[in-house]
Chain A
Amino acid sequence: MLTLMIFLPLIGFLINGLVGRFLPKNVSGWLGTAAVLGSFILAVMNFNALTAEAGQLESIHQKLFTFLHVGSLHVDFAFQFDRLSAVMTLIITGIGTLIHMYSIAYMHEDDGLYKFFAYLNLFIFNMLVLVLGSNYMMLFFGWEGVGLCSYLLIGFWYKNVDFGKAARKAFVMNRIGDLGLLLGLFLIYSTYGTFEYQDLFSRVFTGTDASSNVNTAIALLLFIGAMGKSAQIPLYTWLPDAMAGPTPVSALIHAATMVTAGIYLVIRSEAIYALSPFANEIVMWIGLSTSILAALIGLKQNDIKKVLAYSTVSQLGLMFIALGCGAYTAALFHVITHAFFKALLFLGSGSVIHGMHHEQDIRQMGGLRKKMPITYLTFLIGTLAITGFPFLSGFFSKDEILMSAFAHNKLVFGLALMSAGITGFYMFRMFFVTFHGTYRNHHHAYEKVHESPLLMTLPLLVLAVLSVIGGAVNLPHYLGEGISGGLHHLLSFDGGGQFSPILIYPEHAIELSHTAEIALLAMAVSVFVIAFLYTRNKYVVKGSVPEADADQQGMGKVLANKFYVDEAYDMAFVAPLESASDVITEYVDEKALKSAVDGVGTGGYGLSKLLSKIQNGNIEYYLLYMVIGISLLLAFNLF
């Protein structure tokens, strides 16, 4: 059942990939959706089997075949369905199904629809391999596989050269992270001698094999991989560019699932991270700086998807803060809620783009709430959820992160709170500019703007409901001990004396006094209120419109240009690399090496001209040489 769950999307990929072009569009679309839906149903069944009241299981383990067995290296092609993978699987397949469904309508005009669904299914397959593999090697398969699908889907509209560039940028930046991950894997293997989670973590746990320096090195190398995939400083610039892909792709891959793979990796490697406080600090500070940087950039973006992209980077940063503080449940909790509301927001933006005939600039929108009521409503819920409106899902998960940060380090808490506050500003700015005010587009008449079909609004509604109630998976304990901390209990399940693969070191419940807790909540809520009131005043009451990028001044200009990071990377890495390549090609390869080789030839020719003087054609001289030669030979033999 586990295998079928994983391979269903692959089957979908094969059918759509091989014969898709002969199928009608609807068939392709529903086929792709059905594959993921089937996977989701199986995931639910597996999850029930795992957590059934009687006889709870630690994990379901299934080995298919030996992938590699060479020398000391042994890698099984095996899957492991434990609680962490289960949560991830449910998110991936559940949200995946909704987004597949949405795509049927969103992509219905595209001739390459079958290809789109094939890629999406392939992505789901790889993502499942990533979270369900029972060893780091399997994780790496999925890891690279989702990177590939991301490349294919960002560059889906291949005729556009810029999209192709964005796709390659994403792949290459991911590969930089992958190199770190790969070296981390080598270090794991040379230290512990296995990739298999269960064996590995028990060895780490007994802790005799390695010094803490080695563990720190492993943790940091793995984190480089996570930086690439989860778009953290310095490898985050690919994610905003990745918005070149179709919007459902942005929702599924670049918001809900793939980019959280880095978080998954760190949670999975908890045993190693727990042994290295230094690595945790690094994770936390990188997460924090990414979160703030991306939030600031988000303030001045005018492309609806770019705003959401920077928001994603910022939220991922928040999750890494939680990981750095050791609050693994909080991070995973935020992964879940973020998946709900960010998928909702992206799909909502897709609906807007669809309704606006592929217009993405929010300055061209305005007043859409009357034309697109369902999209408006659901988008509002998504916005409220992400900005932390009390008792929506984002409120709980973000507060949990803030609290763990508070318990860890007050400065980090302050900065994280600031980042969370900025979220409110850019999200409401985008929301109000898009849906309120007056319509500002001159290319398409207001009358032509339309609400999206049911197939697109239905997933929006489902996700909206989830965004509202999503907090229920891990309610804070001040709401009552009985109903709180569901996720926490799930993850810290102890398989009855057996070795538990997830969260070996049970998290300490955050010990905060009630007053402190309430004060924190009040701060979070007041930040939300300030952001709401400020933006409402500016964009609804005063009805101002953001300036075009070119008109930005001072700090605004720097933000609109994303701190010039892309330009800096170009100058620091791309340009030197290219000129190095040119120099090597021209001077080393063409001039130095080739002329050295040709020099041997030229030298030989010159020598031959010299020696040919001796061959004067006169037989007497030849005879003389011969006699001299023989005499010398004799002389050598005699003495």
Chain B
Amino acid sequence: MEIILIPIIAALVTAGLGKRSNVWISTLLSLIPLAVLYTYFTRFGVDNGWKTIFDLTWISENIRFTLGFDGLTGMLLLLTNLMVPVIVMAGIRDDENRVKLTALTLFMQGALNGVFMAQDGLMFYIFWELALIPIYFITLTMSGENAFKITLRFFLYTFIGSLAMLASLLYLFLHTADYSFSFEALRAVELSRIESIWVGAGILLAFVVKIPLLPFHSWQADTYTHSPAAGSMLLSGIMLKMGLYGLLRWYLPLAPESIEFFQPWIIGLSVAGVLYGALIAIRQKDMKRLIAFSSLSHVALIAAGIFTLTAEGLEGGVLQMFVHGVNVIGLFLVVELIEKSTGTRLLGELGGLAKSNRSFMIFFMLLALGTVAVPFTNGFPGEFMLLKAVYMYNPNMALLAGLTIIFCAVYIFRMVQFSMFGEGKHEVSLLKWNEYVAFGILSVAVLLIGFVPQLFIDVVHSSILQIVTWVSEAKGVLS
């Protein structure tokens, strides 16, 4: 509970302090939940199932305010509470809107923590929507001239998805024995195959829009491109993971009978999305847009891996969720710094930045390598496992999805080349302490996961095992 309340209080404090707050204060405030998370890990462990750690009667005896913790939740909480400080520390450089952005980001942190911990269907839904509110304000008020149109598209997309999910959850709720929204009760509902497909479709719609999967992605590029950096980072780095987390935590256990029906579709769309995003990214001139499409491509691979239902796919998927969060936030941070120093983020106008700031170059290169998935950086183990999982599902799919390792090298190194190398008239200003710390955190994450991925996989292993068991049990019931 603390981990949800503290950021929200911090948001209020920041908003209350107004111009008197500064980067120091907001960074410290955003770091507190990380300490709380550490106590969660030590107190509850990661191998004890999805343990309820907070429970309160809420709307009724059976619609409760229940929070759970396990490895999967822990992993995503770690991502959220590690990345939000990075964003607060270095990603918010807009002086005019700094207070507003910081407060909204902190609020978002609380809501996201709620999403990842909720053990009650209704609560999950409410936090899911709650997380939409700050990003709505960020995109609506700070995205420049087309803000309204972009925000409306984004909002309608996610909202329609959410409503479909609510409908599915309600259907399950009405079929529980004692009208309960608790995860266990919803999971215990036995559905026929056709019911399961409908319920699953509703839940899936919310998640595929958020992930986003081809063809539900057209909100993404514009939103990323025009939002302030903090918004793009929150959206791509953490909020997307809500969709993937939802797949793992809510879709697979609640509608396992429908998996077989959706599996070929989702994997097909994902692989198509991998190529689609990569192909578009190859020719983008705007760095933010390029990263947006690269992100589309990478996340689609995670979705494909999850839907193969293999241990490699699921655990690699979770690892890659973390990794993608780190990399994409890092890259957006890089672009933000470049844009603030030079006033542009178009590749044609940049070049030769490497000579002006070497440490910046190193950090950029490291994050780029992580994205390209070079061994000993964080992208590699996850991508390897995901591709292997897809290979096990269908070797031809793996060939197609594997093209991403070529395309990714093309567009990422193209971005590095035309921004950092060659000759150019612009310079990147020297890094300040907060930027050093932010890049430091990201770089450690890149290398640590690259060298010892097993450390992170062990965290989620038993949660994933649990999900796999549920799914296979449900399949057993059917056959």
Contacts from A to B (Cβ < 8 Å) = 21, 65-73, 140-142, 144-145, 148, 151, 155, 158-161, 164-165, 167-168, 171-172, 175-176, 178-179, 182-183, 186-187, 189-190, 577-578, 580-582, 584-585, 588-589, 593-594, 596-598, 600-601
Which 6 pairs of residues, A with B, have the shortest CB-CB distance?
A71-B311, A141-B375, A158-B421, A186-B391, A581-B283, A161-B422
Question: Please, which residues of chain A bring their CB within 8 A of the CB of B374?
Answer: 144-145, 148
A584 to B221, CA, bound (A): 14
Interface residues of B in 60-113 (CB under 8 A from A): none
Query: Once the chains bind, are B457 and A70 in contact (CB under 8 Å)?
Result: yes
A71 to B420, CA, bound (A): 41
Q: State the Cβ distance, B478 to closest chain A Cβ, in Å.
A: 23
Query: Once the chains bind, are A67 and B376 in contact (CB under 8 Å)?
Result: no
Q: State the Cβ distance, A227 to closest chain B Cβ, in Å.
A: 14
* Given A159-B352, A159-B355; A182-B280 close (CB under 8 Å): no
* Interface residue B37 (Cβ < 8 Å from any Cβ of A): no
Please classify how large the interface on chain B is, using the bins under 10, 10 to 19, 20 to 34, 35 or more: 35 or more
* Given A68-B385, A151-B413; A158-B422 close (CB under 8 Å): yes
Query: Once the chains bind, are A183 and B395 in contact (CB under 8 Å)?
Result: yes
Q: Kindly list 19 other residue pairs between chains A and B, CB separation below 8 angstroms, not including A175-B409, A186-B395, A581-B282.
A: A67-B452, A67-B453, A67-B454, A68-B454, A70-B385, A70-B461, A148-B374, A151-B413, A155-B421, A159-B352, A159-B421, A168-B413, A172-B413, A179-B403, A593-B218, A596-B215, A597-B157, A600-B156, A601-B156
Question: Please, which residues of chain B bring their CB within 8 A of the CB of A65?
Answer: 452, 454
* Interface residue B198 (Cβ < 8 Å from any Cβ of A): no
Query: Once the chains bind, are A598 and B375 in contact (CB under 8 Å)?
Result: no
Across the two chains, which residue of chain A brings its CB closest to B392? A190
CB-contact partner of A589 in B280, B395, B420, B454, under 8 A = B280
Query: Once the chains bind, are A179 and B405 in contact (CB under 8 Å)?
Result: yes
- List 29 A-B residue pairs with CB atoms under 8 Å apart, sorted by A's residue number: A66-B454, A68-B453, A68-B454, A70-B461, A71-B311, A71-B312, A72-B312, A141-B376, A151-B413, A158-B354, A159-B355, A159-B421, A161-B417, A164-B417, A179-B399, A182-B402, A182-B405, A183-B391, A183-B399, A186-B388, A186-B395, A186-B398, A187-B395, A190-B392, A578-B282, A581-B279, A589-B280, A593-B218, A596-B215
Query: Once the chains bind, are B283 and A582 in contact (CB under 8 Å)?
Result: yes
A183 to B219, CA, bound (A): 34
Hey, what's the 0/1 contact readout for B219-252 against A, CB within 8 Å counting as 1? 1010000000000000000000000000000000
Q: State the Cβ distance, B212 to closest chain A Cβ, in Å.
A: 11
Interface residues of B in 241-286 (CB under 8 A from A): 276, 279-280, 282-284
Hey, what's the 0/1 contact readout for B183-218 against A, CB within 8 Å counting as 1? 000000000000000000000000000000001011
* Interface residue B414 (Cβ < 8 Å from any Cβ of A): yes
Task: Give the most central of B352, B354, B422: most A CB within 10 Å.
Answer: B422
Query: Once the chains bind, are B391 and A581 in contact (CB under 8 Å)?
Result: no
Query: Once the chains bind, are A68 and B402 in contact (CB under 8 Å)?
Result: no
Question: Please, which residues of chain B bring their CB within 8 A of the CB of A598?
Answer: 153
Query: Once the chains bind, are B385 and A73 in contact (CB under 8 Å)?
Result: yes
Across the two chains, which residue of chain A brings its CB closest to B389? A71
A229 to B392, CA, bound (A): 26
A564 to B384, CA, bound (A): 36
Query: Once the chains bind, are A186 and B283 in contact (CB under 8 Å)?
Result: no
Query: Once the chains bind, are A585 and B457 in contact (CB under 8 Å)?
Result: no
Question: Please, which residues of chain A bring their CB within 8 A of the CB of B153?
Answer: 597-598, 601
A582 to B312, CA, bound (A): 35
Question: Please, which residues of chain A bring their CB within 8 A of the CB of B423?
Answer: 159, 161
CB-contact partner of A584 in B280, B402, B421, under 8 A = B280
Question: Please, which residues of chain B bring their CB within 8 A of the CB of A142?
Answer: 375
* Interface residue B448 (Cβ < 8 Å from any Cβ of A): no
Question: Please, which residues of chain B bring their CB within 8 A of the CB of A145?
Answer: 374-376
* Interface residue B33 (Cβ < 8 Å from any Cβ of A): no
Q: State the Cβ distance, A452 to closest chain B Cβ, in Å.
A: 28
Q: State the Cβ distance, B434 to closest chain A Cβ, in Å.
A: 21
Across the two chains, which residue of chain A brings its CB closest to B387? A182
Q: State the Cβ distance, A5 to closest chain B Cβ, in Å.
A: 18
Query: Once the chains bind, are A21 and B358 in contact (CB under 8 Å)?
Result: yes
Question: Please, which residues of chain B bring their CB within 8 A of the CB of A600?
Answer: 156
Across the two chains, which residue of chain B brings its CB closest to A592? B215
* Given A21-B358, A158-B354, A593-B215; A183-B381 close (CB under 8 Å): no
* Interface residue B320 (Cβ < 8 Å from any Cβ of A): no
* Interface residue B161 (Cβ < 8 Å from any Cβ of A): no
A164 to B461, CA, bound (A): 42
Across the two chains, which residue of chain B brings its CB closest to A600? B156
A140 to B461, CA, bound (A): 25
* Interface residue B120 (Cβ < 8 Å from any Cβ of A): no
A580 to B391, CA, bound (A): 26
* Interface residue B114 (Cβ < 8 Å from any Cβ of A): no
Query: Once the chains bind, are A584 and B276 in contact (CB under 8 Å)?
Result: yes
Query: Once the chains bind, are B420 and A158 in contact (CB under 8 Å)?
Result: yes
CB-contact partner of B315 in A70, A140, A584, under 8 A = A70
CB-contact partner of A179 in B310, B395, B406, B454, under 8 A = B406
CB-contact partner of A69 in B405, B422, B454, under 8 A = B454
Q: State the Cβ distance, A167 to closest chain B Cβ, in Å.
A: 8
Query: Once the chains bind, are B279 and A584 in contact (CB under 8 Å)?
Result: yes
Query: Once the chains bind, are A73 and B312 in contact (CB under 8 Å)?
Result: yes
Q: State the Cβ distance, A456 to closest chain B Cβ, in Å.
A: 28
Across the two chains, which residue of chain B brings its CB closest to A160? B422
Question: Please, which residues of chain A bring their CB within 8 A of the CB of B170?
Answer: none
A187 to B375, CA, bound (A): 20
Task: Give the most central of A145, A175, A178, A596: most B CB within 10 Å.
Answer: A175
Interface residues of B in 371-385 (CB under 8 A from A): 374-376, 380-381, 384-385
Query: Once the chains bind, are B280 and A581 in contact (CB under 8 Å)?
Result: yes
Across the two chains, which residue of chain A brings its CB closest to B399? A183
CB-contact partner of A175 in B219, B315, B405, under 8 A = B405
A68 to B378, CA, bound (A): 13
* Interface residue B474 (Cβ < 8 Å from any Cβ of A): no
A578 to B282, CA, bound (A): 7
A165 to B422, CA, bound (A): 10
* Given A159-B423, A183-B398; A71-B391 close (CB under 8 Å): no
* Interface residue B369 (Cβ < 8 Å from any Cβ of A): yes
Q: State the Cβ distance, A621 to closest chain B Cβ, in Å.
A: 31
Across the two chains, which residue of chain B brings its CB closest to A176? B406
Q: State the Cβ distance, A63 to closest chain B Cβ, in Å.
A: 13
A598 to B219, CA, bound (A): 10
Task: Give the most central of A70, A145, A582: most B CB within 10 Å.
Answer: A70
* Interface residue B316 (Cβ < 8 Å from any Cβ of A): yes
* Given A65-B452, A140-B375; A168-B414 close (CB under 8 Å): yes
CB-contact partner of A580 in B219, B279, B381, B457, under 8 A = B279
Q: State the Cβ distance, B63 to closest chain A Cβ, in Å.
A: 30
Query: Once the chains bind, are A70 and B405 in contact (CB under 8 Å)?
Result: no
CB-contact partner of A594 in B218, B380, B420, under 8 A = B218
Across the two chains, which residue of chain B brings its CB closest to A177? B406
Q: State the Cβ distance, B259 to closest chain A Cβ, in Å.
A: 17
Question: Please, which residues of chain B bring their CB within 8 A of the CB of A21?
Answer: 358
Question: Please, which residues of chain A bring their CB within 8 A of the CB of B31?
Answer: none
Query: Once the chains bind, are B406 and A175 in contact (CB under 8 Å)?
Result: yes
* Interface residue B142 (Cβ < 8 Å from any Cβ of A): no
Query: Once the chains bind, are A186 and B387 in contact (CB under 8 Å)?
Result: yes
Question: Please, which residues of chain B bring their CB within 8 A of the CB of A179?
Answer: 399, 402-403, 405-406
